[in-house]
């Protein structure tokens, strides 16, 4: 395994790049979902590291191959759903869309995050 020289997501709470890291995490999560790999523990802030090479997920010890990976859904559930900046109804719509159209749901959540920043 490669050592990742990075800082955990937790350290970025209340900083201006927190949502940029979350957006990159959602893109990573989407790509993992397409590969059929479920990390399973992305709700823990310290499994998401921001490094000079970008956002990296670590510790796949509970990871599984599955036809129904929920990386993207878990990140929304753990970080955005409990964030008062976001409308829960809208998040539910996006997670429901994700089941039939992953790409559109990804683009939609990235846009929602961009719009919530200001």
**For binding to Mg ion (CB under 5 A), which residues are involved?**
59, 61
**H-run or E-run covering 37:** strand 37-38
Among the listed residues 85, 83, 79, the one whose alpha carbon sits nearest the alpha carbon of residue 29: 79
In DSSP terms, which residues pair with 51 in a beta bridge? 6, 54
Q: Shortest gap between Cβ of 39 and Mg ion (angstroms)? A: 11
Q: Shortest Cβ distance from residue 1 to ligand ATP (Å)?
A: 6
**Binding of ligand ATP by 61 (CB under 6 A):** yes
108 binds ligand ATP (CB under 6 A): no
CB of 81 to ligand ATP, least distance (A): 22
Distances, alpha carbon 80 to alpha carbons 5, 84, 97, 114, in Å: 25, 8, 16, 13
Tell which positions 41-60 bind ligand ATP, by CB under 6 A: 58-59
Residues 3-32 that bind ligand ATP (CB under 6 A): 3-4
As measured in angstroms, the least distance from the Cβ of 109 to ligand ATP is 26
Q: How many CA atoms lie within 13 A of 54 on its CB side?
A: 6
Cβ distance 60 to 32 under 8 Å?
no
Note the residues at the interface with ligand ATP (CB under 6 A).
Answer: 1, 3-4, 58-59, 61
């Amino acid at each position: 395994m490669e050592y990742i020289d990075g800082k955990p997501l937790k350290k970025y709470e209340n900083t201006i790049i927190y949502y940029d890291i979350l957006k990159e995490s959602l893109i990573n999560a989407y790509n993992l979902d397409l590969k059929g790999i479920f990390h399973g523990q992305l709700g823990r802030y310290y499994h998401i590291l921001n490094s000079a090479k970008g956002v990296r997920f670590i510790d796949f010890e509970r990871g599984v191959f599955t036809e129904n990976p929920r990386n993207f859904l878990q990140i929304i559930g753990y970080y955005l759903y409990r964030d008062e900046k976001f409308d829960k109804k809208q998040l539910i719509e996006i997670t429901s869309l994700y089941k039939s159209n992953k790409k559109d749901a990804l683009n939609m959540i990235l846009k929602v995050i961009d719009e919530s920043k200001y």
